[in-house]
Amino acid sequence: MTEQLLTGPDTANRTTPLLAVRDLRMTFGGRTGVKAVDGVTFDVRPGETLGLVGESGCGKTTTGRMIVRLLEPTGGTVTFDGRDITHLGPRALRPLRRDIQMIFQDPSASLNPRQTVERIVSGPLRLLDRRGVIELLERVGLGAEHADRYPHEFSGGQAQRIGIARALASRPKLIVCDEPVSALDVSIQAQIVNLLVDLQRELGLAYLFIAHDLSVVRHMCARVAVMYLGRVVEIGSRESVYTAPAHPYTRALLSAVPVPDPEVELTRERIVLLGDPPSPAAPPPGCSFHPRCALARDICRTEAPPLEIHGPGERKVACHFPG
């Protein structure tokens, strides 16, 4: 099963993926429940960053939580380093926890307030001694003087550095970063982005970078997947997705982002979508984007478009009328 998946058409290129996600599904509340993730497929190669972007409710966080196996998928497979981890039990997962780590959005809420930084970073497995902890703290821009303090003594940016040090303690191969900078001040965002980029270069880490901010994703990720209502609607290289977006939703999303330049803002074309993102509890039939899409025709209302190769390279789009 695993063999077959890994030699599928999506991964026929030179590098074997570190993480292979195939038709991943998560339905909450039984068979008739909410389809938070509805058939997601992508790869993350060793040392690369894949961006997962989308608006609230699109399933990006749920996807991340299934990959670190905080959630057990209700369908599809997650293959890590050639091994199917989709339904591993708690004991079998334990060694895997070292290889796949996670960084969260709200750094202070994800640190135990009653533990010192040393304790937090060395982790429940006590992976590091004090010297190791201090080395890691220095690596993320903190110092020995921080080791005995508690999380409330730190600013948001510093707390995120602690969260990153904790994630690094087990020498992971993949870190799932769930909105790692979106709660931080603008001047601090750049510091944390730089830190993540440096760490990746030095340690050869792979990131799955989950964010709603298209500008951050653009900077961090060589490849990008755009999600809408539980599905990937477009996936490809940064260049193809940002400079020639093929899905009407990607185009609208990109045009909605305010650009910090008043002259550009004055002249650029803006696609203002009607309505809100639909609820995954009651998805529209056919293409789930059709009620907000200016290009929608009859087929869009009845038939969900498959994710197919469109244009050069590896870019894929799920749209009946890709641009």
Partner 1 sequence: MILQVRDLRVSFPAGTAVDGISFGLERGRTLGVVGESGSGKSVSSLAIMGLHREAAVSGSIVFDGEELVGAPASRVRELRGRRMAMIFQDPLSSLHPFYTVGEQIAEAYRLHLRTSRRVARERAVEMLAEVGIPEPRRRADEYPHHFSGGMRQRVMIAMALSCEPDLLIADEPTTALDVTVQAQILELIRKIQEDRAVAVMMITHDLGVVARVADEVLVMYGGRTAEHAPAREIFRSPRHPYTRGLLASVLRLTAGEEEDGGRLPAIPGNPPSLLAPPSGCRFHPRCARYAAAPDDACVTEAPEPRPAGPGGATHRTACHLIDISGGRR
In the complex, which residues of this chain contact partner 1 (CB under 8 A)? 55-56, 155-158, 185-191, 193-194, 197-198, 212-216, 218-220, 222, 238, 242, 252-265, 270, 272-273, 276-277
CB 190 to partner 1: min, Å: 4
The first and second tokens of residue 102, run together, are 């996670």
Which one, of 121, 123, 167, lies nearest residue 143 by Cα? 121
CB 70 to partner 1: min, Å: 24
Contacts of 91 (CB under 8 A, 6+ apart): none
Q: What is the distance, to the nearest Å, from the Cα of residue 74 to the centroid of all Cα atoms in its chain?
A: 19
Nearer to partner 1, 202 or 263 (CB): 263
Whole-angstrom distance, CA of residue 316 vs CA of residue 309: 4
Nearer to partner 1, 167 or 253 (CB): 253
Which stretches does DSSP call E strand in the chain? 19-28, 34-44, 49-53, 75-80, 83-84, 100-103, 174-178, 206-211, 223-228, 231-237, 308-309, 316-317
CB 46 to partner 1: min, Å: 16
- Specify the DSSP element, H or E, that contains 66: helix 60-67
CB 126 to partner 1: min, Å: 30
Nearer to partner 1, 127 or 244 (CB): 244
Query: Virtual CA dihedral for 110, 113, 116, 119, nearest 10 degrees?
Result: -50
3-state SS class at 206: strand
Nearer to partner 1, 55 or 84 (CB): 55
* DSSP state for residue 135 in the 8-state scheme: H
CB 275 to partner 1: min, Å: 9
CB 136 to partner 1: min, Å: 20
Nearer to partner 1, 13 or 155 (CB): 155
Nearer to partner 1, 93 or 264 (CB): 264
Please give the C-alpha separations between residue 43 and each of 13, 67, 223, in angstroms, as whole numbers.
11, 12, 10
